[in-house]
């Protein structure tokens, strides 16, 4: 039976996770591994399964909040260039899960392929975007996914095709341990027009969101027919601070770390927002970010 120590080339012990996350907070991972390719990733996952080591997979780190106490077991970061390849054939686009969503958007726009330009400005990787069906007013990534290659917690690879994929608001049916690769079907369009559309989307987003700060994108899902940010603002919580964390005064569905925040500070703000909005408006805010 293999041991996790067999992967010493890519293994770190008690590695602080804060430096990899957008929030820049969170404790250490007991084991931290950065596989160099899909085969190595598969071998690591099989080893963890054999040794009953719990595993979490880390992409761009933009949609997670890590506890101050850290994570027991193995955290696998899918970051190597091997996982970030993008290829385009006609209107079919194949992307590694580790590719930045921003790279996928800009490459498809440059090739005159329409569909993903509305996702401009969303942080993180293609794998993370698919897992949480990232999107905005102009559509979600899932509606363009044709097939997704996944890895199970036991280290088995298989491909989910369109009829085995379902996407809803900020959710997908992809619940395996890791996404390896995905293919998308887009539509031919004029590259210059798409670039203009992408720029407009980006300007709108920059005007309304605190993109330069340490945050993790939207904290809450929008309740049906409503906006979480508007509810938090109407509850009078914009600009509220606890410790080093603050509900953004630019967009109330963002929490900002002023570089001294702890995860506990962020969780306190999350609870305050949920409780206040529930009391005032009878609406339960559901987390969009993942809590580790």
How much is the mean pLDDT over the chain?
Answer: 94
Fold of 2-79: 3.30.43
What confidence category does residue 103 fall into, taking pLDDT thresholds of 50, 70 and 90?
Answer: very high
What pLDDT, on the 0 to 100 scale, is given for residue 139? 87
Range 188-203 average pLDDT = 92
Q: In sequence order, which residues have a C-beta less than 8 Å from that of residue 84 and are 6 or more positions away?
A: 96, 98, 99, 100, 103
Range 193-220 average pLDDT = 79
Question: Looking up tokens 């990787």, which residue turns up?
Answer: 125
**Residue 48 annotated among the catalytic residues of the structure:** no
Q: Return residue ranges of the chain for CATH 3.30.465.10.
A: 83-195+198-204
Would the pLDDT of 99 be above 70?
Answer: yes
Using H for helix, E for strand and C for coil, what is the string for the chain? Answer: CCCHHHHHHHEEEEEECHHHCCCCCCCEEEEEECCCCHHHHHHHHHHHHHCCCCEEEECCCCCEECCCCCEEEEEEECCCHHHCCEEEECCEEEEECCCEHHHHHHHHHHCCEECCHHHCCCCCEHHHHHHCCCEECCEEHHHHEEEEEEECCCCCEEEEEHHHCCEECCEECCCCCEEEEEEEECEECCHHHHHHHHHHHHHHHHHHCCCCCECCCCCECCCCCCCHHHHHHHCCCCCCEECCEEECCCCCCCEEECCCCCHHHHHHHHHHHHHHHHHHHCCCCCECCEEC
What confidence category does residue 166 fall into, taking pLDDT thresholds of 50, 70 and 90?
Answer: very high
**Residue 170 annotated among the catalytic residues of the structure:** yes
Tokens of 231: 């509810």
As a whole number of angstroms, the distance between CA 209 and CA 62 comes to 15
**C-alpha distance from residue 198 to each of 118, 134, 204, 241 (Å):** 6, 16, 10, 34
Would the pLDDT of 76 be above 90?
Answer: yes
Q: Return residue ranges of the chain for CATH 3.30.43.10.
A: 2-79
CA nearest neighbour of 125 among 86, 158, 99: 99
What confidence category does residue 223 fall into, taking pLDDT thresholds of 50, 70 and 90?
Answer: very high
As a whole number of angstroms, the distance between CA 131 and CA 171 comes to 7
CA nearest neighbour of 128 among 66, 198, 56, 200: 56
CA nearest neighbour of 26 among 289, 286, 204, 230: 289
Which residue among the candidates 117, 176, 246, 288 is catalytic per the annotation?
288
Q: Are 214 and 257 in contact (CB under 8 A)?
A: yes
Which residue among the candidates 15, 170, 181, 197 is catalytic per the annotation?
170
What pLDDT, on the 0 to 100 scale, is given for residue 210? 66
What confidence category does residue 137 fall into, taking pLDDT thresholds of 50, 70 and 90?
Answer: confident
Which residue among the candidates 34, 48, 197, 218 is catalytic per the annotation?
218
Instruction: Just give the CATH number of 83-195+198-204.
Output: 3.30.465.10
What's this model's pTM, rounded to 2 decimal places?
Answer: 0.90
Under CATH, to which class is 210-289 assigned? alpha beta
As a whole number of angstroms, the distance between CA 10 and CA 198 comes to 38
* Share above pLDDT 90 across residues of the chain, in percent, rounded to a whole number: 84
**Residue 77 annotated among the catalytic residues of the structure:** no
Would the pLDDT of 109 be above 80?
Answer: yes
């Amino acid at each position: 039976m293999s041991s996790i120590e067999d992967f010493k080339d890519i293994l770190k012990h008690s590695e602080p996770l804060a430096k990899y996350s957008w929030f820049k907070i969170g404790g250490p991972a007991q084991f931290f591994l950065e596989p160099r390719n899909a085969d190595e990733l598969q071998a690591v996952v099989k080893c963890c399964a054999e040794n009953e080591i719990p595993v979490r997979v880390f992409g761009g780190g933009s949609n997670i909040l890590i506890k101050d106490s850290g994570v027991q077991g193995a955290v696998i970061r899918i970051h190597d260039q091997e996982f970030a390849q993008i290829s385009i054939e006609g209107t079919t686009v194949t992307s590694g899960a580790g590719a930045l969503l921003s790279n996928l958007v800009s490459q498809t726009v440059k090739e005159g392929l329409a569909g993903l330009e509305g996702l401009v400005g969303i942080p993180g990787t293609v794998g993370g975007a698919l897992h949480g069906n990232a999107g905005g007013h102009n559509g979600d990534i899932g509606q363009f996914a044709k097939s997704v290659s996944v890895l199970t917690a036991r280290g088995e690879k298989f491909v989910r095709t369109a009829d085995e994929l379902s996407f809803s608001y900020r959710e997908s049916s992809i619940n395996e341990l890791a996404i390896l690769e995905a293919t998308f079907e887009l539509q031919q369009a004029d590259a210059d027009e798409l670039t203009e559309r992408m720029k407009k989307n980006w300007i709108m987003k920059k005007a309304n969101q605190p993109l330069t700060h340490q945050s993790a994108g939207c904290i809450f899902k929008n309740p049906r027919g409503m906006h979480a940010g508007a509810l938090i603002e109407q509850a009078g919580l914009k600009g509220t601070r606890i410790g080093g964390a603050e509900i953004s005064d630019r967009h109330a569905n963002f929490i900002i770390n002023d570089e001294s925040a702890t995860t506990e500070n962020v969780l306190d703000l999350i609870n305050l927002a949920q409780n206040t909005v529930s009391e005032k408006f009878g609406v339960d805010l559901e987390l969009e970010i993942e809590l580790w």
